[in-house]
Structure 1
């Protein structure tokens, strides 16, 4: 489902139509499938979106009808100075079609703006084909449309691929701002992974890397308790009774750890009795003398 409105319809360098702004597009809505997502521009929203009763692909055909009405009359079919009143009109107001529209246009718009989804043109099994076969489009050859064989009524005059003269300078003079990187999980999101019994070998390799610092890293807190992490950063001692391995030796395959990284770890096997030692040193962010028994 697309975010269809005039502002999202552009022309390419040859004057052919291009749909843009798929940031609010809903994917993977198949025949009979529904969603309850509420987003878009009110004036072009179908009533079932506004009533939050669940909606499917047919909302696109309502939006297409509202867009067609806008292009032929100069304004969307239901508008108001108040957002709430606009929504109320879309849900229950009578559709008024200007007399200057021809019969085919009025019939097509009326059938696209049916509030009962099952009666809306395009909502059946034929989908878009029912609309393409409507008499309003009888002079169009859709194969020629897709192949861009028709001569567009307007072709932009451009100096090159980077020419932005056709865009409003209000936007082109602005300094581009990169979106923030949100790849690092937050502390609250990390809690979801606590208690897992498997740790990826790549995480182990990261932990034994020299000068390892787990600030901002997404995984080390799943390896050891938060208390251990805090003590590690402050070069303090920790109680081995608090240490609980979250993976078996089978899960942590040493062959997956780079040989140069292994040089940074002192390896030894502790017996159950050794694990009960009261204190173990933590040096440079690495827990020494600990391996996990089977």
Structure 2
């Protein structure tokens, strides 16, 4: 797995509070390309949020954590799993009426809104109220949003998934051609020929300054290999006992002196 030393988009968004429209557009364009690629391969991502978007040293982004992704959507019309992160989850997932790739476009709209505003469109500390608002309350567009941004967000945050921007046919051409992205040369973007509007400060390949110290100060713990039996964990269940494998195939467990004494 690659280490991207530019840090999480979430980290930079909390640090700067919100982004300029130019910077938000640069990130959103890459997310459009990422979602389009996944959708063309029959995959819906389902957990698009700033924590899952990482920056490299050049200021370009990559998405990570495919734990909630759904494959095989080229042959399946909808899926009904309840999953995602509350602030960015599409209304059809909350309602349980079935969802498809359109759910990712809703999440893109929620992230773009947050990048421009500093908070997700329906954010509430009370999650139950937030879920209700996502399904029922119209999105309020701040005055400082440009007309193009408002138009794009209105299309992406359309509650009816069949009418949501990006759902027509099997492509996202209606998003790529939207006036909000008028300054994006898509071929140049794919070739990484556009200079990023923001370049993270890094001093080395392994620089961790762009990550929250709450995480980098943690003691690293090796992830256990699920294919290898966790013998140490099992041993704690029989602490004070000795395991013996007899030659005749009989397996016995006898108490050690200390364990026997403790049992008396």
Alignment match of 2:180 (pick from 136, 155, 164) = 136
* Counterpart for residue 135 of structure 2: 91
1:235-292, Cα deviation, whole Å (9 max, x unpaired): 8xxxxxxxxxxxxxxxxxxxxxxxxxxxxxxxxxxxxxxxxxxxxxx9336xxxxxxx
Q: How many residues align?
A: 195
* Counterpart for residue 249 of structure 2: 284
1:26-105 map, 5 Å? 26-30=70-74, 33-105=77-149
How far, CA to CA, are the matches of 2:212 and 2:144 in structure 1?
Answer: 32
**Is the aligned partner of 1:174 residue 2:209?**
no
Report the CA distance between 1:126 and its aligned residue.
4.4
TM superposition score normalised by structure 2: 0.67
* Counterpart for residue 292 of structure 1: none
| Structure of greater Rg | 1
Report the CA distance between 1:37 and its aligned residue.
1.8
1:72-131, Cα deviation, whole Å (9 max, x unpaired): 111111121211000000001112112221211111100111111111011121432221
SS for the counterpart of 2:162 is: helix
**Is the aligned partner of 1:150 residue 2:194?**
yes
Higher relative contact order (CA 8 A, sep 6+): 2
After superposing the two structures, state which structure 1 stretch, 173-182 or 163-172, moved more.
Answer: 173-182
- Which structure features the higher share of helix residues? 2
RMSD of Structure 2 on Structure 1 (CA): 2.5
How far, CA to CA, are the matches of 2:190 and 2:245 in structure 1?
Answer: 65
After superposing the two structures, state which structure 1 stretch, 151-160 or 5-14, moved more.
Answer: 151-160
1:201-280 map, 5 Å? none
How far, CA to CA, are the matches of 2:201 and 2:144 in structure 1?
Answer: 33
Mark the runs of 5 or more structure 1 residues left unpaired by the alignment.
186-215, 217-232, 236-281, 286-294
Report the CA distance between 1:29 and its aligned residue.
1.9
How far, CA to CA, are the matches of 1:12 and 1:234 in structure 2?
Answer: 53
How far, CA to CA, are the matches of 1:181 and 1:154 in structure 2?
Answer: 38
Report the CA distance between 1:178 and its aligned residue.
2.8
How far, CA to CA, are the matches of 1:122 and 1:156 in structure 2?
Answer: 31
Distance of aligned partners of 1:31 and 1:104 in 2 relative to their CA distance in 1, 3 Å threshold: farther
How far, CA to CA, are the matches of 1:93 and 1:116 in structure 2?
Answer: 13
* Counterpart for residue 11 of structure 1: 55
* Counterpart for residue 238 of structure 2: none
Mark the runs of 5 or more structure 2 residues left unpaired by the alignment.
1-43, 235-243, 251-264
* Counterpart for residue 169 of structure 2: 125
How far, CA to CA, are the matches of 1:165 and 1:103 in structure 2?
Answer: 36
